[in-house]
Amino acid sequence: MRITDIKDMTLSTGEKRSNAMMDFSDMTTGFVAVVTDVMRDGRPVVGYGFSGTGRYSQNAICRDRMIPRIMAADPDTLQNDAGDNLDPFRVWDCMMQKEKPGGHGDRAVAAATLDMAVWDAAAKIAGQPLYRYLADNYGKSSVPDRVPVYVGGGYYAPGRGLPELQDEIRGHLDDGFVVVKMKIGGAPLDEDLKRLDAVLEIVPSDNLAVDANGRFDHAAAMQYADALAPLGLRWFEEPGFPLDFDLQAEVARHYDGPLATGENLLSMWDAKNLLRYGGLRLEKDYLQFDCALSYGICEYIRTIDMIEDHGWSRQRLYPHGGHLLSLHITAGLGLGGTEAYPRTHQPVGGFTDGLTIADGYVGLPDIPGLGFEGKSNLYETLKRLGTEPG
Ligand code: MG
């Protein structure tokens, strides 16, 4: 078998809202389609990938370096030993040829976009949902019927006051979510505390997480930690710059409640340094590495091996992203739970249409691959790559 073509496109996906660090009005998302010569139902199997949420399309790196390497390779070197499917690790090694170690950043997003499409194709060729394919080939546990989910929201937006914030949170609870996350650090502390009070009228404190998106310097992180400590929140996320492990460790010494971080660490090695130097506590803190932004599933499996070598349970992994990839790896690789973006970061945010979300859990799609074909707004977008009929 062989890959016959790889198509890509970049679309504007901007939205009028902000976290503590940036607004999303100019956001773009990259999409790729990996076309194979394997036929299912009279058509070639096509795997799809996208470039994750919260970072821009890096398809230029795909086009300039990674796709040419894959298309130039001997097809036999990209397939499994049986010759009946792609081997995603072999494709990953191929696209990363001639790349120096380190210097992750945007390259990690590009590689993850292609990696997602390769895994989607491999699971489709196997005739399995991706979570089942992962569990059978790389997981260590059986697949659950549903997995814990929390909703990322509570953004800042022009003209958005406390009533609108409360309406949003009520909507999430009505949708079946239990744990809710809201942004902090985009307003002065006294204003953020009013926002928190408003949400705590609706959500118990141990079901409310807060996210500073790396905004705080040392003094502000300590000030917020002191203000948040009495509230008993679910977790305090990303207080300082993602690579400032010293600040993270200082917050961990100062703040007794659970902490969460990792969505802006883009490789296994960055994650390893977080565990070495970030002061995180394996019995209570959360690791949020985002598979779609950090070299994809191949690297995520290496990251899981690394955290377990450091004594951490994979149940402490709650991948950022709020999309289908995070859902599948959570179920298939036995992670603790997943984020959800049911209304933001469209069309990639959220899951397959009609999935049941209840009591803080989300069900799993029964569609081969990631199930893009069952998420209508995403599938309509993917059709623009020109690899689907109609
Ligand atoms: Mg975050």
- Higher pLDDT: 138 or 229? It is 229
- Say if residue 140's pLDDT is above 90: no
Q: Closest Cα to residue 367, out of 352, 388, 379, 357?
A: 352
Across residues 189-214, what is the average pLDDT? 98
Contacts of 161 (CB under 8 A, 6+ apart): none
Across residues 81-86, what is the average pLDDT? 97
Across residues 180-192, what is the average pLDDT? 97
Query: Residue 263 Cα, ligand 1 centroid: separation in angstroms?
Result: 6
Quickly list DSSP for 310-355. Answer: TT--GGGB--SS-BHHHHHHHHHHT-S-EEE-SSSSTTTSB-STT-
How do beta strands 357-358 and 361-363 pair? antiparallel
* Six token digits for residue 272: 């390893």
Cα dihedral: 202, 206, 208, 211 (round 10): 160
* Sequence-distant contacts of 20-25: CB under 8 A, at least 24 apart: 20/156, 20/183, 20/184, 20/185, 20/186, 20/212, 20/213, 20/214, 20/215, 21/185, 21/213, 21/214, 21/215, 22/213, 24/54, 24/345
Query: Residue 319 Cα, ligand 1 centroid: separation in angstroms?
Result: 10
Query: Residues whose CB is under 5 A from ligand 1 (ion)?
Result: 211
Query: Residue 237 Cα, ligand 1 centroid: separation in angstroms?
Result: 6
Query: 103: how many CB neighbours lie within 10 A of its CB?
Result: 10
Q: Is-contact 259 252, C-beta < 8 A?
A: yes
What pLDDT digit, counting tens, does each position of 9-31 carry? Answer: 999 988 888 888 888 889 999 99
What pLDDT digit, counting tens, does each position of 125-134 carry? Answer: 999 999 999 9
Q: Which residue has the tokens 């590495």?
A: 289
E strand or H helix that includes residue 147: strand 146-152
Q: Closest Cα to residue 2, out of 67, 77, 53, 107?
A: 77
Structure confidence at residue 103 as a pLDDT band (50, 70, 90): confident
Query: Residue 212 Cα, ligand 1 centroid: separation in angstroms?
Result: 7
d(CA 214, CA 318): 18
Residue 238: what pLDDT? 98
Structure confidence at residue 383 as a pLDDT band (50, 70, 90): very high
Across residues 250-278, what is the average pLDDT? 98
Cross-strand partners of 31: 9, 50
Report the predicted TM-score, pTM, of the whole model to 2 decimal places: 0.96
Q: Which residues are designated catalytic?
A: 183, 320
Query: Residue 238 Cα, ligand 1 centroid: separation in angstroms?
Result: 6
